[in-house]
Structure 1
Amino acid sequence: MRLHSLSLTLVCLLLSACTSDEATSLVERYASRTANAIEIDFDLALRPNSALYTQLPPRRERLAEVPEIRQGLLDLLDLRACDLMQLVSERNTSLGRVAGPSQRLIYELKILPRLQQCVVQLETDPERAELRGELLDFVQIKQSGFAALVFNATYNTDEMEQHFSFGAAPLQPNQIGYLTPLLEPFQRLLTVAELSKQESWPTPEFTDDLESSFEALYRADFGARWISSMALLTQTLEQTSAAIERRLEGRPICFNKRQNAKSKILWNVFMKFYVGELQPYIAQVEREGRQWSQLHMQILDSLETETVNKVYPLISTQKDSIIWGRYIRARDRHTAAWQNQLDQCGLRPGAANKS
């Protein structure tokens, strides 16, 4: 009987370990210890991400407008001299007609440079001046819509949308390098986005491997987990700041900045649970989050489309942005609250005597 009970206990422990959320446990422990140290009764009231942030608009509202080209126009042009018939025929297959955004992007990366080369090639053939003019018009239309096509292929797909979803578990403490697998895919997308500012360019060497970059985005969930981490930290910092500020409004822990037993407890909590546990997690989320946001901003800054404004507020690191802005305000308020509380007892990080 005792063996059966022990087995059940072990199973429960294993299950709880598998489903534990170390990040949430960390902030709850920090808030609880701080509440005890400042003698203010409060519990973290963590709300879902949707209560803090505005989600991405629906895909139909984010779609960038790609200039329409008369159906079959390319088929009417005699491109045999430029050896483009095979590439054009690929688009006309049943598979080509139902290709997803990533496949369409890959096709454009291949066809546009070839068309530009064809325009140059026809310059020396007076008999094909009319063909060259028609082809040049076609290329210019394609180029004018390339930025919109890149934006749609990048931000209006399942692969990227899931990184802006709400409800994922937060990043866990010491889970370093979670963003690393996405660095190369983002660098490729940035290279493609920057092409939209150039008049002519060669097909990137990685074009045939671009599908693997979208697959890497699909298999990862860094963005969604980072959003949850920011929501977790923002609420923790806001609510803990409010509790410390309430304490500062009441009877001081230290009279005339003279340290006592309560100030020693306060200092120990600050060093062990804030400096020792919460700050490293804050640094981790900030460091990878800034890298994540910078990657997006570089891509969006390269794409001159109005719809970038539908995404930008969620990744911008500016103080007025949706996620970073509220977090920065909470972080700065929290720092000031702790500084004021410690100063009340003559305590500041770096001071020689804390006893």
Structure 2
Amino acid sequence: MIMSIIRGKNVKGAKSAVVFAVCALLLGCDNASSVESKFENYLERLANVQQKDTVKVVTPTPEYPRKRELFQQPSRQTVGLVDALQLSKCHLMELVAERNTVLGKVQDQFRSLEYEVALLGGLKSCLATSELGVELNEDLQRIYSIKWQELPLHISNTLYSSDSLYANAFSTNWYTKETNQGLYSLKKVLQQLSSLHAHYDKGQLPEEFDILSFQEEIEKYDQLGRISHSLQSATLYLQASTQQLKQHDSIVFCGKNRDTTKYRRLKNVFQKYYIGEIQPYLADLNSAYHTLSPHIDILYSVKLDNQYHHPVQSAYNEYKQVTINHAQYWMSLFQRCGDQVGQSG
């Protein structure tokens, strides 16, 4: 299509359109890389004013667990062919038959979870009838009991070892509001899984359960990973910036008959770079986290070793404390110098 446009009459205009389209595609990457440069620039400006070496920021290489370490194998319960035919009375024959096809046996975690929920709902309705033989009733009671006990395991597998959520969970890219595609779908999936788990705790099943409609989009993007990476990286830069300020606080003078040059220049850095650039980004990052936070607890309700739990919640808690510590330094400096926080001039 691009070549056909270029062969047209307005070649110059077509080339410009192509260049613009490519730039638009790359814009997300440029915005993401510029986020880190804002933190780096802020730290360097502080060091320049102090005329001291910049505190080094060491970003560790992330180590992500493998999916097979996160997967928990459920048991496999079967029903004989003759008994399965009796399930047609409960409208379960089609569901079970589909599951037993070649494709059904290798279906992904999203479809598998929807199947388990549908099967439990069907079994519950089936057992409530009086149309089953005694032996089949006992078999189905046993299968229902096992399936019910294993439902949290299927929730865990969907959260941690499904291709879609595993792809979404880990990233080395910064979050930006320009690259937040899939955030709403991720929220809806976590919300659905949270609701399912809450119903399970009450011994119930939800009337509606749908996560398949959001699967494709969340697999395309890495919002949970981006948010976690950004929280962790912002934490490192803010820790370094606070250390930079505290380490050389004694050379910043203020008051009458003192050389207040460093204080005034630090104050300008605070206004221009922290208030002007860092804080707006942190506001966007906070907004992204809080979009998901009402449903994030579902990530920690699963029976996995703590070492495998997703880092987003602990990353936010640490980030929140570090931002408070950083703000407290500036408050103490302004108070020491008789200024209101952030007052220009």
TM-score, normalised to structure 1, is: 0.77
In 1: Cα distance, 2:182 partner to 2:338 partner: 40
| Corresponding letter in the other structure for 1:343 | Q
Alignment of 1:41-120 (within 5 A): 41-42=53-54, 44-50=56-62, 55-66=63-74, 68-72=75-79, 76-77=83-84, 78-120=86-128
2:3 aligned partner: none
1:4 aligned partner: none
Matched, 1:147 2:168: no
In 2: Cα distance, 1:337 partner to 1:221 partner: 34
1:3 aligned partner: none
Matched, 1:315 2:312: yes
| Corresponding letter in the other structure for 2:331 | Q
1:194 aligned partner: 198
User: For structure 1, which runs of at least 5 residues remain unmatched after alignment?
Assistant: 1-9
CA shift in 2, pair 1:75/1:350, >3 Å? farther
Does structure 1 conserve the Cα–Cα contact (< 8 Å) formed by 2:67 and 2:161?
yes
Does structure 2 conserve the Cα–Cα contact (< 8 Å) formed by 1:174 and 1:281?
no
| Corresponding letter in the other structure for 1:224 | G
1:349 aligned partner: 341
In 1: Cα distance, 2:218 partner to 2:337 partner: 50
Alignment of 1:1-355 (within 5 A): 20=30, 21-42=33-54, 44-50=56-62, 55-66=63-74, 68-72=75-79, 76-77=83-84, 78-122=86-130, 128-167=133-172, 169-172=173-176, 179-201=183-205, 204=208, 207=210, 210-248=211-249, 250-255=250-255, 260-297=260-297, 299-300=298-299, 303=301, 305-307=302-304, 309-312=306-309, 314-316=311-313, 321=314, 323-349=315-341, 355=345
Query: Share of identical aligned residues, percent?
Result: 24
CA shift in 2, pair 1:72/1:136, >3 Å? closer
| Corresponding letter in the other structure for 2:218 | L
In 2: Cα distance, 1:294 partner to 1:311 partner: 21
Does structure 1 conserve the Cα–Cα contact (< 8 Å) formed by 2:180 and 2:223?
no
CA shift in 2, pair 1:65/1:348, >3 Å? farther
- Secondary structure of the equivalent of 2:329? helix
Shift of 1:278: 0.9
In 2: Cα distance, 1:22 partner to 1:247 partner: 27
- Secondary structure of the equivalent of 2:248? helix
Shift of 1:146: 0.9
Shift of 1:56: 4.5
- Secondary structure of the equivalent of 2:69? helix
Aligned residues: 320
Q: Deviations over 1:190-232 (max 9, x none)?
A: 333334224343652x54xx32212121012112222231233
Which sits farther off after the overlay, 232-241 or 30-39? 30-39
Shift of 1:173: 6.4
| Corresponding letter in the other structure for 1:201 | L
Q: Deviations over 1:19-58 (max 9, x none)?
A: 53220121122122222233333165352452xxxx4433
Does structure 1 conserve the Cα–Cα contact (< 8 Å) formed by 2:49 and 2:265?
yes
TM-score, normalised to structure 2, is: 0.79
In 1: Cα distance, 2:145 partner to 2:81 partner: 13
In 2: Cα distance, 1:294 partner to 1:308 partner: 23
Q: Deviations over 1:277-318 (max 9, x none)?
A: 111111221231233344221x246x5x422745546132xx
- Secondary structure of the equivalent of 1:99? coil
User: For structure 2, which runs of at least 5 residues remain unmatched after alignment?
Assistant: 1-18
Does structure 1 conserve the Cα–Cα contact (< 8 Å) formed by 2:168 and 2:223?
yes
In 2: Cα distance, 1:110 partner to 1:178 partner: 26
In 2: Cα distance, 1:91 partner to 1:178 partner: 29
Shift of 1:65: 4.9
Shift of 1:121: 0.7
| Corresponding letter in the other structure for 1:235 | L
| Corresponding letter in the other structure for 1:271 | Q
In 1: Cα distance, 2:251 partner to 2:275 partner: 25
- Secondary structure of the equivalent of 1:41? coil
Does structure 1 conserve the Cα–Cα contact (< 8 Å) formed by 2:242 and 2:329?
yes
Does structure 1 conserve the Cα–Cα contact (< 8 Å) formed by 2:228 and 2:312?
no
